């Protein structure tokens, strides 16, 4: 298969599949390398191939629907879920916990197995990639319960950044909220989002984190969304929150005009509830 089409009505397959919510552009490129993407019956061999949207495209044998209007959801991730599509160890994933018939989506970054709290989901891989990039500068806020003695001056040293076990982390703002016995509740704000960054930063101060909750990602807050539940960020809030860092959001249509394109509202799994309101009250440590 060759790429002999280059018009304003086409785009690279990796970007197209990212917008369709298959995965991030980088992950799609890996899928292509592994021979998992088929276009009009032929295995794709290059991420430079361009499509118009009229092609029949499958990934892992499953047909891909054309990109829909960008949507964003908040999910209150509980402890014990991995943030991957599948897990070789057979552990439950974030996606297996979502309501039945939930739209195809990707996560904005990851939360490790033992971290809980706000996880953003979107059907637009391009948006996910933008929001993940450290260069975008979005603040991630966490509440940590840590065992050990610490005071505010020690936490202030994290403002200068820290190198721990060979990894350097950028400036982290940490505030001592309260002490409960031998534990301390600490609020942390960071912008880089490296793997296990919040935990390792506190470990560098001799603390042991026993609970970690992400309470905000940029201007989107966890608030009082119950554990295990998911709700959609209204279109107008999505554009207001991230339109500056991802300009295509500014062209989103209103819910009334885009409702028919968004498809049916996902139904919750048995025994689960789906929150419908996007609230703005601040969560307190539990």
- CA dist 166 and 176 (Å) reads 26
Residue that is last in its domain, among 201, 217, 233: 217
Specify the number of domains making up the chain: 3
- Whether 92 and 231 map to the same domain: the answer is yes
Structural domain includes residue 168: yes
- Whether 111 and 144 map to the same domain: the answer is no
Catalytic residue chosen out of the listed positions 4, 6, 87, 112: 112
- Whether 123 and 232 map to the same domain: the answer is yes
Would you tell me the crossing angle of helices 25-33 and 125-132 to the nearest 10 degrees? 120
- Whether 227 and 176 map to the same domain: the answer is no
DSSP 140: E
Catalytic status, residue 112? yes
- Whether 50 and 184 map to the same domain: the answer is no
- Whether 130 and 225 map to the same domain: the answer is yes
Structural domain includes residue 278: no
Q: Please state the pTM of the whole predicted model.
A: 0.78
Structural domain includes residue 32: yes
Could you read off the pLDDT tens digit of each residue along the chain, which spans 286 residues?
Answer: 544 444 457 889 988 898 888 887 888 898 999 999 999 999 998 888 999 888 999 999 989 888 889 999 999 999 999 998 778 888 999 999 998 889 889 999 999 999 999 999 999 988 999 999 888 989 999 999 999 999 999 999 999 999 999 999 999 999 999 999 999 999 999 998 888 999 999 999 999 999 999 999 999 999 999 999 999 999 999 999 999 999 999 988 765 443 333 333 343 343 333 333 334 333 334 3
Residues 6+ away with beta carbon under 8 Å from 84: 93, 94, 110
Domain extent for 200: 139-217
- Whether 213 and 223 map to the same domain: the answer is no
Structural domain includes residue 276: no
- Whether 100 and 123 map to the same domain: the answer is yes
b/e sequence 149-164, b meaning 16+ C-beta within 10 Å: ebeeeebeebeeebee
- Whether 104 and 165 map to the same domain: the answer is no
């Amino acid at each position: 298969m060759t790429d002999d089409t280059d018009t304003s009505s086409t785009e690279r397959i990796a970007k197209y599949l990212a917008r369709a919510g298959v995965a991030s552009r980088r992950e799609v490129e890996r899928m292509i390398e592994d021979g998992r993407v088929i276009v009009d019956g032929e295995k794709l061999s290059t991420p430079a191939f361009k499509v118009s949207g009229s092609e029949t495209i499958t990934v892992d044998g499953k047909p891909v629907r054309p990109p829909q209007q960008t949507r964003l959801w908040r999910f209150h991730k509980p402890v014990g879920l991995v943030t991957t599509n599948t897990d070789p160890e057979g552990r439950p994933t974030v996606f297996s916990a979502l309501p039945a018939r939930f739209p195809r989506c990707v996560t904005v970054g990851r939360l490790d197995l033992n971290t809980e709290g706000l996880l953003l989901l979107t059907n637009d891989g391009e948006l996910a990639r933008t929001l993940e990039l450290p260069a975008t500068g979005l603040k991630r806020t966490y509440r940590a319960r840590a065992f050990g003695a610490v005071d505010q001056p020690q936490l202030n040293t994290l403002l200068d950044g820290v190198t721990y076990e060979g990894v350097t982390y950028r400036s982290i703002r940490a505030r001592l909220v309260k002490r409960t016995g031998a534990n301390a509740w600490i609020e942390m704000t960071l912008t880089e989002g490296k793997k296990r960054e919040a935990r390792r930063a506190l470990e560098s101060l001799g603390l042991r984190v026993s609970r970690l909750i992400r309470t905000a990602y940029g201007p989107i807050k966890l608030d009082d969304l119950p554990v295990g539940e998911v709700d959609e960020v209204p279109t107008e809030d999505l554009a207001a929150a991230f339109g500056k860092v991802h300009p295509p959001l500014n062209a989103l249509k209103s819910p009334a005009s885009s409702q028919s394109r968004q498809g049916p509202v996902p139904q919750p799994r048995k025994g689960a509830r789906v929150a419908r309101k996007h609230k703005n009250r601040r969560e307190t440590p539990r």
